[in-house]
Amino acid sequence: MKKPDKREIINLFFSAFLIIAFIVCAHFFSEFSATLPGVWGSVISIALYVIFGLLLFYSTRVGEGKAIKRFSIVTLLVMVVPAIYIIVASLAPGLPLYNVFAAKSGSVSVIVILASIALGYGIPYTFLSGFEVAADDNAASDAPLSGGIEEDLLTSSADDSAEENLEDDDDGDVDADSADDETEV
């Protein structure tokens, strides 16, 4: 792992500062939304925590290269859909588990806050994951990285084929030796 340069350290500092500043702002918005009538206060709090989840996703997805685009049905089914149900069930009294997810004091319950953050984190994670490092022009594209699993697999398959060749040679030598032994007797 390479040592981060000054630019990366400054970016990490500002990323951490952004998260802390958002937490402070979220506290004040939560206090304000608690005074609003009906479900509007809950909706504002939920939207605030979804934005926090988005910021958390983008602040933790650091790397070199461009983002890898893909669609993950598992992330959608395991993280996003349950989070959406928890949020909707906390606002709609007719849905099952409303009593579990709705807050007693008129604010947003802890499980709804966590579901909102998971929703904000899960939506971009469903479509983006990791980073793709650009290949060097000088490096061979077929050469594995040193110490990587690809190198281990190539090494083990090369060792296996070498062992098979040795076994074939040994079998051939044994047959030739036994043939020589038979002629001498």
pLDDT of residue 140 exceeding 50, the answer is: no
Looking at residue 103, what is its pLDDT? 75
Q: State the Cα–Cα distance between residues 1 and 131, nearest whole angstrom.
A: 15
Mean of all residue pLDDT scores within the chain: 74
> pLDDT tens digit string along 54-97?
888 877 776 556 667 778 888 889 999 999 999 999 888 888 88
Looking at residue 12, what is its pLDDT? 78
Torsion over CA: 68, 74, 77, 78 (sign): negative
Per-residue pLDDT band for 41 (boundaries 50, 70, 90) equals confident
Stronger pLDDT, 130 or 3, i.e. the higher one: 3
Stronger pLDDT, 116 or 165, i.e. the higher one: 116
| Beta bridge partner(s), residue 66 | 132
Phi, psi of 68 (to 5 degrees): -85, 125
The pair of structure tokens assigned to 58 is: 């983008």
pTM: 0.60
Closest CA to 29 of 47, 11, 45, 13: 45
